[in-house]
Structure 1
Amino acid sequence: MAPEDHEGATSLLQSFERRFLAARALPSFPWQSLEEKLREPSGSALLLAILQKTVKHPVCVQHGPSVKYARCFLSKLIQKPSGDSVTLSESTAIVSHGTTGLVTWDAALYLAEWAIENPAAFTDRTVLELGSGAGLTGLAICKACYPRAYIFSDCHAQVLEQLRGNVLLNGFSLEPHTPIDTGSTKVTVAQLDWDEVTASQLSDFQADVVIAADVLYYWEVTLSLLRVLKMLADCQRKSAPDVYVAYTVRSQDTGKLFTTELDRAGIYWEEMPPHTGKLFAYEEHSAIVILKLMLTGRHGV
């Protein structure tokens, strides 16, 4: 980096840091200068540096601005490299209306970041998301990875209502129970109960890719997920889909129980290497894993 470029990046960082710590109005930030810098080869490093100087600043970790301010800032910041942003409505309670699906969990954020770094896994493919919750992961994939079709799914009525609202909030048209064309991506919101869904229903989706994030929170749910995966392996009219399951390791048994059952079912799995970029604010000490499952072939890693 030329000396003048380094000086310009340092000045930009200081400007973002001072304005964020003072909780200044977002329009006052030097967004245009940032856009120009992001076109340079070192743009991604600058974006990460801004995160360190703002939402991850030691002062903000202890005495940060309001959650609403921080999220609005992150939404604006993410919009710069991708050309688009994701707006989300979610509950402030961890458990609400008898479900945990009204909030976004860390593994969903982690999987969204991984997808943005690995768009080829989703581009021009049909993606089925199991347990979409508030919808952040799917919305990020729809806006950044350009799938041919995307099916959000969940089973809880309140979650589905919020999910449809978030689809609308992000500029997608939506008619109940009807696939809709949003540019090049067809988006569907489907009610899907893992204990009741049939092989015929899963086959109708004809998914090339299946994803799920933070759905291994207790044993019965894990068994229900395995039921769906086994059906997906058997019911496809074409080749079985690639499957990506992201989860936060809350105890040493979180992933072990799942992988043991995968081995028992003869489902091959491998752990994906961590991605390099971090766009969202979540607990750094959290161990988050993404497993890729191949629904044909023998088990092992």
Structure 2
Amino acid sequence: MALSELETMEKTDDLREFRVAFFAMSRLASFPWTMLEDNLQGNKSSELVSQLLKQTCLHPLCLKFPPSVRYRRLFLSEIIKRHEATTSDPLDELYDALAEVVGAAEAGECYKSYFLPSGDAVSLLENTALISQGTTGLVTWEAALYLAEWALDHQQLFTGRSVLELGSGVGLTGITICRSCSPRRFIFSDCHPAVLQKLRENVQLNGLSPRTCPAVAVEELDWTMVTDERLGEIRVDTIIATDVVYDPEITGSLVKLLSKILNHSSAEVRPEILICSAVRNPDTYSTFKQQLENAGISHRVMSGPVSAVFPYNRLASIELMKLCR
């Protein structure tokens, strides 16, 4: 392979990395800035910066589902700072893009988009604050991204199956499974009114409206109030949940719900249960495991690497467990 072809491939990979990080609103420090600086040093052309803009702020996806105003402003300011530190020619479209966001009003919501291996994007309306309206369910958390990657690596475990997601939040994991794994039926669920509203919006945003996809449903499910009759109606093959182990009282309700579900299932048709957690408080996580043991529910940690599809902190302590009785 000629050197110029290799350089072109590397540049394309770096631009793709910029695009993926930009739409997921990753930390600016995580971007491959060295590539940009190396290219601009001693190079009068600003072609790479122009290409970079087309992959981010000028990309059609940004026009439709833009990251927050503040994030775009910081991103463009960072590019301009590095661009002006070189002898490259000025680029009007760079300053035009900044001018569009400098005076724009901030909002409490923004879009984040996560690219699937197919090249399609899952776009989600999220809150800009990590905690809003008394809940943490209005943003995407790391465990949801991890389980979505795990599902992409194990699509056969969801294909043709009926799946219930507990505590769906804004919907990243479930939408990824629906878009990539062809489940027979998928039930998103949560109990917080604001989360349910955002969840319904995101499910529809990604072309999975229950009106157009009868196999998809978004339902309110309060773990403390669900009846035996309701559990009998749900009946699924697989149950998943992410980032639901953060409060001992909540985990207690979760364990009681899972115990009810397993008690209502025969040995032959018991659902697979997958719980994925970012272990932020080891004591709380240990308490959850003890609650499972007290309820007669055993667990097995699903170890092994997953394909890196989405950008997030891979140094975080994330554990995926499979439950059974």
Please classify the TM superposition score into its range, dividing by the shorter chain length. Answer: 0.7 to 0.9
- Check 1:188–1:15 CA distance in 2 against 1; reply closer, same or farther (3 A cut): closer
What percent identity do the matched residue pairs reach? 39
Report the Cα offset of residue 254 of structure 1.
3.3
**Higher mean Cα deviation, 188-197 or 238-247?**
238-247
The partner residue of 1:263 within 293, 299, 305 is 293
Partner of residue 228, structure 1: 257
2:318 maps to what in 1? Answer: 288
Q: TM-score, normalising length from structure 2?
A: 0.69
Partner of 1:173: 209
Residue from 278, 289, 296 that aligns with 1:248: 278
Answer whether contact 1:117 1:275 (CA < 8 A) is retained.
Answer: no
Q: Does the CA contact (< 8 Å) of 2:113 and 2:124 recur in 1?
A: no
| SS of corresponding position for 1:189 | strand
Alignment of 1:36-47 (within 5 A): none
Deviation at 1:285, TM superposition (A): 2.5
- Equivalent position of 2:309 in the other structure: 279
Q: Paired residue for 2:231?
A: 202
Cα distance change of structure 1 residues 26 and 197 upon mapping to structure 2, 3 Å threshold = same
Aligned with residue 189 of structure 1, among 214, 218, 221: 218
1:98 paired with 2:128, answer no
Q: Is the 1:84–1:143 contact (alpha carbons within 8 Å) kept by the matching residues of 2?
A: no
Give the stretch that moved more between structures: 82-91 or 143-152. 82-91
Q: Is the 8 A contact 1:15 1:29 kept in 2?
A: no
Secondary structure at 2:290 match in 1: helix
How far apart, CA to CA, are the structure 1 residues paired with 2:311 and 2:203?
22
Q: 1:142 aligns with which of 178, 186, 197?
A: 178
Using the TM superposition, give the Cα deviation of residue 243 of structure 1 relative to its aligned residue in structure 2, in angstroms.
0.5
Residue type at the aligned position of 1:203 = G
CA contact (8 A) 1:123 1:147 kept: yes
1:137-157 Cα shifts (integer Å, max 9, x gaps): 100000111110000000011
Aligned to 2:244: 215
Alignment of 1:65-104 (within 5 A): 75=114, 78-79=115-116, 81-104=117-140
Change (3 A) 1:199 1:209: same
- Tell me which amino acid in the other structure corresponds to 2:202: N
Go from structure 1 to structure 2 and tell me whether the alpha carbon gap of 1:83 and 1:124 turns closer, same or farther (over 3 Å shift): farther
Residue 116 of structure 1 corresponds to 152
Does the 8 Å CA contact 2:277/2:319 hold for their aligned counterparts? yes
Distance 1:95 1:27 in 2: 27
Going from structure 1 to structure 2, the CA distance change for 1:27 and 1:128 (only over 3 Å counts) comes to same
Q: CA RMSD in A?
A: 3.1
Q: Which runs of 5+ in 1 are unaligned?
A: 31-58, 297-301
Q: Cα 1:20–1:174, aligned 2, differ >3 Å: closer, same or farther?
A: farther
With structure 1 as the length reference, what TM-score do the two structures score?
A: 0.74
Q: Does 1:128 align with 2:161?
A: no
Judging changes above 3 Å, is the alpha-carbon distance between structure 1 residues 256 and 83 closer, same or farther for their aligned structure 2 residues?
Answer: same
Q: Deviations over 1:107-156 (max 9, x none)?
A: 11111111111111111100000000101110000011111000000001
Identify the range of structure 1 (214-223 vs 84-93) with the bigger mean alpha-carbon deviation.
84-93
Q: Is 1:209–1:243's contact at 8 Å kept on the other side of the alignment? A: yes
Counterpart of 1:12?
12
Q: Which whole-Å deviations, capped at 9, do the CAs of 1:197-252 have from their partners, x for residues lacking one?
A: 01221221111000000011110000000011001101136611000001111122
Change (3 A) 1:135 1:204: same
Q: Which moved more, 1:141-150 or 1:274-283?
A: 274-283
Aligned partner of 2:19 in structure 1 is none
Please list every run of 5 or more consecutive structure 2 residues that lacks an aligned counterpart in the other structure: 17-34, 37-47, 60-77, 83-97, 102-109
| Partner Cα distance (1:249, 1:143) in 2 | 28
Length, aligned pairs only = 250
CA contact (8 A) 1:104 1:133 kept: yes
Change (3 A) 1:161 1:243: same
SS in 2 for 1:25: helix
State the AA in 2 paired with 1:214: D
**Rg comparison, structure with higher value:** 2
Over 3 Å counting, the alpha-carbon distance change for 1:173 and 1:74 in structure 2 is: closer
Tell me, what secondary structure is at the counterpart of 1:273?
Answer: coil
C-alpha spacing 1:122/1:181, structure 2 compared with 1 (3 Å): same
8 A contact 2:113–2:122 mirrored in 1: no
